Every structure is written in structure tokens, then in C-alpha cells.
Chains A and B, each alone.
Chain A
């Protein structure tokens, strides 16, 4: 009985690990070689260079944009501080509910506004750099899933997504080449 339980557990864990490594690909349009793109990948500069080189080798026009030094968490004013302020005041329960609602609304407005600010920055990429597509990418070890997606900056729509569970034989170059082949189909 104990053996059966252990075997079942192992099968279940194997199944779960397979499920989390599912590949996904969907596209609206093909991003063909020759397109003007910005690639943002949260990696060290040497890896970024490899990624950009693969795109350049396939004749994409890669714009010089580096997103790794945009801001740090210390630069962000944390609106939750207001909640702490509320606790400093001797408030009744009703008051606390009211104040918490106001604090939550601050966060909600923050998210609405953040998406606008982000879109304005992306729009600048199009107008100032002449970029057509923004490619976002994160590469991971072979046990994990690398992902990438593309945004059409003319209408701010996502046009291609892929999750790629890297194989044991994959290298950095083959994964990037895989993504390039997938988005240009």
C-alpha cells in the first residue's frame, strides 16, 4: 500500500512538472525580417548582446534601447504609507473602513495611471525611434519555460506570444532563434 502511494505521488509530481512546462504559441501577424524592433530582455549585457546579435543576423533593424536601468524600487513612492498613517490616528472601525477604501482607490488610480504612462513611453519608442514592434523576452534554464511576446506599437496590441520549454540540448542562441522563427512565420 505504501509503495502504491509513493508511486502515485511520483507520477503525480511528474505530471505536475510536465503541466507547468507547457508550450504555448499564438500570433496575430508575422513580424518579418526587416521590421524595426526594440528588444527588452531582463538579462546581463553579454546575454543581451547575444540576443540582439541573433536578431541582427536575421536582418531585423534593432533599435538601441536599454530598459535595464529605468528605475529602482527606491525611486517609487509607496502609496501604502497612507495606510500606516491611518493607524496612527485613533479611528473607529467605521472610519478605518472609509480610510482603507480611500487607500485602495489610490492604488487603483495608480494602476490605471501606470498603464497610461507605460503606453506613452512605448508610444515614444514608435515616434522617436521609429520602432514598429516591441519584443519582450525572458530566457530561462532548460528546466523552466522561456517566454517572449511582441507588441505592435502602432495600435498597442499584443501580436505574438510564446512560452517555450527549453530542451536539454538548447543553447541561448537556439532558444532565441526559435523565438525569431516563431514570430516571423
Chain B
């Protein structure tokens, strides 16, 4: 969705608002960076994309007109309200913490108001004396995400590593995919995930649920707000209905609020059961197998380390093998800053 918004398929200019990049170090000497960072990101994005940017001070002015103030931190469920008040399409904010080993941790969140999608990433790198080098590092991640079909990579998945592939392929196609990974120098763990079907959801639909992956440092997710969840209850309700509603509440609590905890527990067990598996790679192909989307989790750190929403091979007669080879090229190629040419 972000990609569509900034890639020139829209008619009205996209509005991107920048909140603070809050200093969470507790050291006021770094406070000056709270506005310098977002202003620099805004300028970088404005230089490459044909969009309207709103910098933090201007944003605060706009909010004050609506009897609101720009906060240093927002909970996810507060974002729909704030973006509606400003009338922006994208809202970018975050925080930074200078770390003791002369590095800096920057956490940036990008929220898209139309789709309710939220992308958060963490970047830990050298604390450069020249701030523009840090800006470039972060801008690269943002540009990749905007300009390369929702691309994100915190580290490449190099040949020699072992991947567990969870896909929507049939067994014969899965063999072809495995063969491509073998040929490229990877080991493949015997995880496949394509055996589950359901009366209510086909396995291909189930696989699509993995588009959204939420981990501690990096996440691509949809915002939901269960504080607004209302259930019609009254004295007319019987005991059974109340029990049922209580069950509903528990389902939400376990599978939404505490889902990440449960998932981490499961992933912890992967380390023992698939000891050689370095990465879990979710790859879902389109029906003609000419494109796919992919997400990767590092099984050691349990973090989302890679995603791409539209992998397409170039050339003629594109098939499953070509698409897979293109995916392999992408996962092992470190990203680089794009050319600075103004795009709509």
C-alpha cells in the first residue's frame, strides 16, 4: 500500500507527516537531534519523491489548531486518530538511543492511514560524527520500502545458511524450489507448511496471513484496537451467552494481545528441533508462479529480517524456477542507496 502511494499511481500528492524522533537516552545533550533527524528524513524523501511533507514543528502547529499537541510517543491504536486530525497519508515517527559502544539505535515507525498498516524497523549502527551518514543509513531503509515493493532487509541471507521454506506450493513445485536453493548453495530444513487445509480457508489463503509478521525489533502489521470492542450485554443475557462472550474476550487476549509471546515461545522450540535452520522463509507465489512475496525470520534472534512484497523475474517465460532464482538473488544482495531522481 505504501508503495502504491509513493510510486506514482495516485493522482493527488501523498502527504507524509513527520513526528519527533524522541531521545530516549535520558541525556539532554542529544535533545537537539529530536528535530534534526525527522527534518533531514523529510528533506531526503522530498528530494526523491513528489510528495508533500509536513515537518514536526509545522505538524505541531496544525495539531494545536485542533486543540491537540504533537506527542513524543504514540501507542499504535492512537495513530488512526492523529492521522485523521492532520489529514496525512503517512505518519513517520520514532525514537533513538545512543548505545555505550559508540553505536546508535534508531527505531522508526511508518503508519499508513488508509490501510491501517504499520511498519516498524530498528537500525543499530555506528554513531557517526557526521549526522548525514546516519540519516543516509535510515533513509535507505525507508527508500527501499517505498521504492522496491515493500522491500526490507536488515541483513542478507547468504549462501551456506540453512533455510526452512514455508510456502503455498504443491509437492512437485516444492521440489523445484528446493532444487533452486540447493543449486544456489543453501541447505533446506524440512519445514514446509503447505500441508494444512481447512474447510473454511484454503491453504493458500492461510499462507497469506503471514504477510503480517510482528517481532520485537521489526514488524509489518495491521493496527487493531480492541479497547473499542463493544459487545451488547444486558440483564436479558443468559449465563451461556455471557460465558461465550468471556470466551471471545479470552481468544482476543491470547491470539492478538499476547500473540507475539506465544509465537516467540514456539520459535524458541524451533532452535532445538531444527538446530541447523538459520532462517524461516515464508514465500507465497501467485497462481501462475510468476511472482511471489516473501518474509524471513532469523530463528536465532526471532526477528523479522527480510521482506519483499512483489518478487518478479525479468525476461520471457517466467516460471516458478525463475521467480525462485530472482528471490534468491534478492535475499543475498545487500541493499544500496538508489539514484536520486524525482519520482511521483
A residues lining the B interface (CB < 8 Å): 19, 22, 24-28, 73, 78-85, 89-92, 94-95, 97-99, 101-116, 119-120, 122-123, 136, 138, 145, 147, 149, 151, 155-158, 161-163
Question: How far apart sit A151 and B232, CA to CA, in the bound complex (Å)?
Answer: 53
Task: Kindly state the separation between the CA atoms of A114 and B201 in the bound complex, as whole angstroms.
Answer: 16
A79 proximity list for chain B (CB < 8 A): 198
Q: How far is the CA of A113 from the CA of B196 in the complex (A)?
A: 12
A105 vs B210: C-alpha distance when bound (angstroms) = 9
User: B104 contacts the other chain (Cβ, under 8 Å)?
Assistant: no
Can you name the residue of chain A whose Cβ is closest to the Cβ of B210? Answer: A108
Inter-subunit contact A119/B198 (CB<8 Å): no
Q: Judging by beta carbons under 8 Å apart, are B256 and A102 in contact?
A: yes
B30 an interface residue at 8 Å Cβ cutoff? no
Does B266 lie within 8 Å of A113, measured CB to CB? yes
- Among B171, B190, B255, B267, contact of A105 (Cβ-Cβ < 8 Å): B255
Closest 7 A/B residue pairs (Cβ) = A80-B200, A26-B179, A98-B224, A26-B182, A104-B209, A161-B175, A102-B255
Judge if B226 is at the interface, Cβ distance under 8 Å: yes
Asked if B172 contacts A111 (CB within 8 A), the reply is no
| CB atoms of A156 and B222 under 8 A apart | no
Q: Among A89, A103, A108, A155, which residue has its beta carbon within 8 angstroms of that of B275?
A: A155
Instruction: Give complex CA distance A162, B13 in Å.
Output: 51
CB pair A106–B255 under 8 Å, yes or no, is yes
Are B226 and A80 in contact, CB atoms less than 8 angstroms apart?
Answer: no
**Sample of 28 A–B contacts (CB below 8 Å):** A26-B183, A27-B182, A73-B197, A73-B199, A78-B198, A78-B200, A80-B198, A83-B200, A92-B230, A98-B224, A99-B252, A101-B224, A102-B255, A105-B259, A108-B209, A108-B263, A109-B255, A111-B166, A112-B263, A113-B266, A115-B166, A115-B270, A116-B273, A149-B178, A151-B190, A156-B273, A157-B276, A158-B178
Q: Which of B295-314 contact A (CB under 8 A)?
A: none
Cα-based distance from A83 to B248 in the complex (angstroms): 11
Q: Which residues of A contact B277 (CB under 8 A)?
A: 156
Interface residues of B in 136-185 (CB under 8 A from A): 162, 164, 166, 171-172, 175-176, 178-179, 182-183
The residue on B at minimum CB distance from A42 is: B171
Roughly how many angstroms separate A94 CA and B116 CA in the complex, as a whole number? 11
Q: Are A78 and B199 in contact (CB under 8 A)?
A: yes
- B176: chain A residues within 8 A (beta carbon): 22, 24, 163
